[in-house]
Amino acid sequence: MSIVMCWLLIPGLAMSQSSSNPDDWTGNVNIFLGAKMLDKDDWEPVDEHFEAGVLIDFKQKSWPVSIAMDFLRSSDKEDISVAVLNFGTFGIDLEGNTTEFNLGVRKIWDNLTMVHPFVGGGLAVINAEVKGTALGVSVSDDDTGVGLWLEGGAYVTLSEHFNIGAEARWSKAEVTLFNVDGEAGGFHVGALLGFRW
């Protein structure tokens, strides 16, 4: 029990000792470019998304972990054909989108030379939308769910400030679209490019 209490008190102690001196702070702003794979049962044929986002973390140098705030946007489009009895075949433009805001902590190992492995996790707020257009008529539905995210990866810092690396993450949040419950999170993988201070 005492170990649990110590872990719970660490963030509070770190915050109380925060410094306003900019030299006491460190952080990263990285661009994420990659893919998000959603559950096929819920999203096929728009289950393989292109994804882009911004990953931000910061901490006072004495803190054991960084505060992480990540924003990710993904989308996929497909043209499908649907046969309607006695009316023929119609083409439908189908689009799926997700927007994630991930808030949590990120542990970055800085004791190596230029290589910085990291893990993180926390709260995920995910908005999902599905839109279909046929014969000039569009229908869409969207919903927002709250869940979790986890990540792991590594980046190399060049010239002390420029990051290049890769990460994989997993997110989970349930949404309801067109009265059907489904998963808005998924498995993410991509490259990182950014700035470290």
Q: pLDDT in tens for each of the 197 residues of the chain?
A: 333 334 344 444 444 445 567 678 999 999 999 999 999 999 999 999 999 999 999 999 899 999 999 999 999 999 887 766 666 677 889 999 999 999 999 999 987 678 999 999 999 999 999 999 988 889 999 999 999 999 999 999 998 899 999 999 999 999 999 999 999 999 999 999 999 99
Domain spanning 27-196 has what CATH number? 2.40.160.20
Residue 18 has what pLDDT? 54
Parse the chain into domains and list their residue ranges.
27-196
Q: Which residues contact 61 (CB under 8 A, 6 or more apart)?
A: 24, 25, 26
CA angle 24, 116, 151 (to 5 degrees): 105
Query: How far is the C-alpha of 20 from the C-alpha of 66, rounded, in Å?
Result: 16
